[in-house]
Amino acid sequence: MLYIQKQRPSSKIRSGLKHVSESTQWKIIPQDDTKGLRDYFDLLPVKPELRESLGKEQHGLCAYCMKRIDSSDSLRVKIEHFVPLSKDKSHALDYDNFLLTCDGGTKSGDLSDKNRVLCCDSSKKDTPIVLNPTISHQMEHIRYNKYGKIYYSDTNYPDFADARNHEINHVLCLNGKWNDAKNCTDLDTATGIVKGRRDTYQAAITYIQRLEKKYRNLQIFRTVLEDEIQKLQNANPYPEFVGVTLFVLRRKLKQL
């Protein structure tokens, strides 16, 4: 999970959202008519522009799991309402409330498999959460380990961290089928995100080990690491699971 810096949408998007918000059809839909709100939202004429804009903001990655997404593929990406439609109609047309997510596994694997684990918006559905990728100080507390686990760590506010880890494990299901008793993943998601993070973590460790052998001079080593971090931060699109790579590289840089 990465910090997403929201941008001002295009005038076409702003105009399209305003037109809907001021329409009689939208105004008469009751707050508790989630299906009616969603059905009308799905008819937005600026949805292609919305997906493209959100995809650019997120550098081509799912807002939650960091899987590669194609904003033009309307069948495999979703415009997610961070504050669910069922909870607050006033945020239903708020661009700052929109995130672009992957299909969460609904298009992957055997649809009849009861053990199939969905993630991201497909798992979250209408559950409200606090962990928000558009809040930078929250994203600073995201951590990863060599097993591909993602978790939230904040020793100053352990109760808050516990609540965020519950959202990661049991609402967004970013660690697949999570076993609280064993503190581990029993089954990866249908999209294979735990394996993806694990492989990315190991690739970053291997990269650092190669640099250590090549650059004996500590200052040169630091400079190469800093350059690589900057290169990744400026990439568009981002490499898949880039948050894991950045975490490992920054940790090594801090250790030097």
DSSP 238: P
pLDDT(256) > 90: no
Mean pLDDT of the chain: 94
25 pLDDT tier (thresholds 50, 70, 90): very high
Question: Residue range 48-72: average pLDDT?
Answer: 96
Would residue 142 count as lying in a domain?
no
The amino acid sitting at 97 is N
Q: Quick check: is 28 in a domain?
A: yes
For the segment 50-71, the average pLDDT, to the nearest whole number, is: 97
Q: Which pLDDT value is given to residue 113? A: 74
Q: Closest by alpha carbon to 92, among 30, 136, 49?
A: 30
In-domain check, residue 103: yes
Q: State the residue range of the domain holding 102.
A: 11-112
- The 10 Å Cβ neighbour count of residue 154 is 16
Report how many domains make up the chain. 1
Q: Dump pLDDT digits (tens) for 92-134.
A: 999 999 999 999 999 876 666 778 899 999 999 999 999 999 9
First to last CA, the chain: 25
What's this model's pTM, rounded to 2 decimal places?
A: 0.93
Q: Is residue 221 part of a domain?
A: no
Per the CB < 8 A criterion, the answer to whether 218 and 255 are in contact is no
Report the half-sphere exposure of 48 (CA within 13 A, side-chain side). Answer: 3
